[in-house]
Amino acid sequence: MRHRVAGKKLNRSGGHRRALLRNLVSELIRHERIKTTEAKARAVRPMAERLVTKARKAQAERVVELAKQRDVRRLSAWFNAKRAGQLIELVEQGDEEGLGRMAQELALHARRQVLATLTDRGLVRKLVEEIAPRYIDRPGGYTRIIKLGPRKGDAAPMAILELVE
C-alpha cells in the first residue's frame, strides 16, 4: 500500500528520478517552457510551484512593505505566525534597521532553500530576480500544462509545461 507516499516513480530509481526532476525544473526556469511527456510534466509541476513560492519569499523589500502595512495574514502565509509577529513588533518599535536585517535574513534563507534544489546560481538569480517578482501577488498556479497528443515514435502522450504570464 502507498499510504502517504506522494509523487510518481516514473519507472526510475530514486537518484535518477531526483536528477530528472531537477533537470526538468532547471530547464523550465531557463526557457520558461519545456516539451516533455504528460507524466513528467505532472511530476515536475509541484516542484516548480514550490520553488517559485520560495523565490517569492526572497524579496526582502516586499517583506518590509508587508510588515509596515501590518499585514499579518500575508506575512503568516509566507512565514509562520511567530515570525510575522516579530516583524510587526519591529515596525511598532520603530526599529527600521532591525526590520531590514530580519527581512534580509529571511530572504537569504529563502534563496538558499531554492539553491538547495537548483545548483546553478545563475538560474537561482533568474528565478529570484526575474520570475518571482512577476508572481508576487499571485497565490499559486504559476505553471500550466498544455496537452499535445501522442509522440510519433512511441505514442507517449506529450505536453508543454510553461510558466503562466
pLDDT digits (tens, 9 = 90+) for 13-34: 999 999 999 999 999 999 999 9
pLDDT band with cut points at 50, 70 and 90 for residue 74: confident
Please, what is the angle between helix 96-117 and helix 38-56, to 10°? Answer: 160
With cut-offs at 50, 70 and 90, classify the pLDDT of residue 76. Answer: confident
* Separation between Cα atoms, residue 4 and residue 134, nearest integer Å: 33
- Inform me whether the pLDDT recorded for 80 exceeds 90: no
Q: CB-based contacts of 78: which residues, under 8 Å, 6+ apart?
A: 56, 57, 63, 66, 84
| Nearest of 28, 17, 19 to residue 55 by alpha carbon | 28
Overall residue count recorded for the chain in this entry: 165
Q: What is the CATH number of the domain that holds 115?
A: 3.90.1030.10
**Cross-strand pairs, 157:** 150
Domain assignment present for residue 1? The answer is no
Q: What is the pLDDT of residues 92-150, one digit of tens each?
A: 999 899 999 999 999 999 999 999 999 999 999 999 999 999 998 898 999 999 999 99
Q: Is residue 25 part of a domain?
A: yes
Confidence (pLDDT) at 109: 95
Nearest by Cα to 65 from 96, 33, 21: 96
Bridge partners, 160 (sequence order): 35, 146
> Residue 3 falls within a domain, yes or no?
no
pTM for this model (two decimals): 0.89
Indicate whether 2 belongs to any domain.
no
> Residue 28 is part of which domain span?
14-163
Using an 8 Å Cβ cutoff, are 40 and 20 in contact? yes
Q: What was the pLDDT predicted at 50?
A: 96
27 in a structural domain:
yes
CB 60 within 8 Å of CB 103: yes
Q: Using CA atoms in the order 55, 57, 63, 69, what is the torsion angle rounded to 10 degrees?
A: 110
pLDDT greater at residue 152 or residue 165: 152
Whose cell is 509522440? That residue is 151
Could you tell me the pLDDT band of residue 165, with boundaries at 50, 70 and 90?
confident
Residue 33 falls inside a structural domain: yes
The Cα–Cα gap between 66 and 21 comes to 33
pLDDT the model gives residue 142: 97
In a domain, 103, yes or no: yes
pLDDT band at 2 (very low <50, low <70, confident <90, very high): confident
Average of per-residue pLDDT across 56-80:
89
The total number of structural domains that make up the chain: 1
* Within-domain flag for 7: no
